[in-house]
Structure 1
Amino acid sequence: MTKDILVKAIDVTKSFDAFKALDKVSLEVRRGEVACIVGPSGSGKSTFLRCINLLERMDEGAIWVNDELMGYRREGDNLHELADREISRQRRRIGMVFQRFNLFPHQTAVENVMEGPVQVLGQPAAKAREDALALLARVGLSDKANHYPSELSGGQQQRVAIARAMGMQPDLILFDEPTSALDPELVSEVLDVMKDLAASGMTMIVVTHEMGFARNVANTVTFMEAGKVVETGPASEVLSAPKSARTAEFIRAVHN
């Protein structure tokens, strides 16, 4: 794998009983790129993200992050599943921001951001708190550090979730429809933070329906349907001159 490829997926397949959620999905993401994945609900986008960070086990195929095969070790021609401890180590390098925030309700914003660095990375609490406060400042929430999630708007909670993902110093952040649970007037504050993160060179894979964000920020766009990659390429090409009639139909329908 070339050094500028951070994520490489080959023929990733995943079924839930008789339903094939992913059907031979292949994708490459370069370091520092923003890769947006779009498509109708149920097309496999979120399942693919969950396979990248091993929240779901793929049935077939392989995914590499940073030249490391995810979830398995290879011995000759054989693959062996990694133990939970090794999977946790691999997952540590990948941040994930969910649709529904997933903050700890009994912890303040700063405590939520500190949790991973203290518990997983073993940072001293004082250092983790200092870094967490700096991250909250970066996402525009310096004044909310001691607020609990119930005291924050949805947009503020999602910005805390982004700061929490950044606190683990990941190589890659996965965003699973990060604005879909937000009131429309709160969407832009989250997208602005994501734009800043992209400008800083963070590698991001973003499942989204926000075509404006994809058009303005993404390097590549991938359109998925029925568990398959229909089309992938530079964002300007896929969004402005898609090769697939189905891609063009989808983009017209969700244009924003």
Structure 2
Amino acid sequence: MDLPLVVVKDLHKSFGSFKAIDGVDLSIAPSEKVAIIGSSGSGKTTLLRCIAYLEKPTNGLITIDGKSIGEKVVGARKVPMSDKEIAQIRTGIGMVFQRFNLFPHLTALENIMLGPLKVLRRKREDVEPIARDLLQKVGLPHKANAYPDHLSGGQQQRVAIARSLAMKPKLMLFDEATSALDPELVGEVLHVIRQLAEEGMTMLIVTHEMSFAEEVADRIVVMDHGVIVDQGAPDTLVSSPAHPRTLALLRPNREPRSTALRAGTSS
């Protein structure tokens, strides 16, 4: 059996007295697609940001492909990693957020090429064909020379996905990648994510698109108040949710069975 690509052990993250993450354990296998759902403030985004070490955990351990991120063992003690060491591990993590964060002064092609050129120190003649192939992959070969302000929101997000893929990541993190888009543009971004899923990319997807989560994910994780309250295969969660929060998210128009039975008994 393959070892997990991502392991999160007893993760905690507090902002002052507020516990955003309160003891999360999570493992993700290579090529597994995991969707994280939950109401606003449940800790979904904070979990992703901790995994990428954009937020420093208050406590706990995170490993990516067997390597801990944030801390290392020197002698008999743990010491913080340098920013350079964290950045090196982060090159294996692709991140796509609600906002596209494209550089406005660079074309779509230049935005995609930037990471391999500046971070990986690759040569332009090697990087440009890959970047053009990625534009083809996300359906935008004709937009290579377009600047972000000449692209729709859906097109910008697809360029952002291509930019992440240019670094050849082992893991892709999607944080509500469609939430800032107009409804008619959501489908084109979900199509690209669906294609990556079919190709076997390991993905952790925070989403409010419940039907999409059920379709694409191998496993759905339900978070509430900073903890994981339920998880399992989509079919299992939809048919037999173990927690009322799961039922409220996946089947919002249906009462939990226990509630319905109590209501029937009392009437």
Q: TM-score range by the shorter chain?
A: over 0.9
1:187-243 Cα shifts (integer Å, max 9, x gaps): 010000001011111100000001111111100100001111111112221233211
Give the distance between the partners of 1:240 and 1:95, measured in 2 at CA.
Answer: 33
Q: CA deviation at 1:245?
A: 1.6
Match of 2:27 in 1: 28
Q: How does 1:106-145 map to 2 (within 5 A)?
A: 106-145=105-144
TM-score (norm 1): 0.96
Amino acid in structure 1 at the alignment position of 2:90 = R
**Structure 1 contact 209–254 (Cα < 8 Å) conserved:** no
1:20-78 Cα shifts (integer Å, max 9, x gaps): 10000111111001100000001110000000111000011101110111111124653
Give the distance between the partners of 2:18 and 2:104, measured in 1 at CA.
Answer: 34
Match of 2:261 in 1: none
Match of 1:16 in 2: 15
Match of 1:217 in 2: 216
Q: CA deviation at 1:250?
A: 2.2
1:212 alignment partner, SS class? helix
TM-score (norm 2): 0.92
1:109-134 Cα shifts (integer Å, max 9, x gaps): 00000000000011101211111000
Give the distance between the partners of 2:3 and 2:218, measured in 1 at CA.
Answer: 14
Give the distance between the partners of 1:64 and 1:74, measured in 2 at CA.
Answer: 13
Question: Which deviates more, 105-114 or 124-133?
Answer: 124-133
Q: Tell me if 1:162 matches 2:161.
A: yes
Distance 1:192 1:254, change over 3 A: farther
Give the distance between the partners of 1:214 and 1:58, measured in 2 at CA.
Answer: 27
1:253 alignment partner, SS class? coil
Q: Which has the larger radius of gyration?
A: 2
CA RMSD of aligned residues (A): 1.4
Q: CA deviation at 1:79?
A: 1.6
Match of 2:228 in 1: 229
Percent sequence identity is 49
2:145 alignment partner, SS class? coil
Q: How does 1:65-144 map to 2 (within 5 A)?
A: 65-75=64-74, 78-144=77-143
Q: Which runs of 5+ in 1 are unaligned?
A: none
Give the distance between the partners of 1:76 and 1:124, measured in 2 at CA.
Answer: 38
Match of 1:207 in 2: 206
Distance 1:254 1:167, change over 3 A: farther
1:196 alignment partner, SS class? helix
Give the distance between the partners of 1:76 and 1:219, measured in 2 at CA.
Answer: 40
**Structure 1 contact 211–254 (Cα < 8 Å) conserved:** no
Distance 1:239 1:70, change over 3 A: farther
Give the distance between the partners of 2:162 and 2:219, measured in 1 at CA.
Answer: 24
Match of 2:241 in 1: 242
Q: How does 1:193-204 map to 2 (within 5 A)?
A: 193-204=192-203
Give the distance between the partners of 1:66 and 1:190, measured in 2 at CA.
Answer: 27
Amino acid in structure 2 at the alignment position of 1:215 = E
Distance 1:38 1:75, change over 3 A: same
Amino acid in structure 2 at the alignment position of 1:80 = V
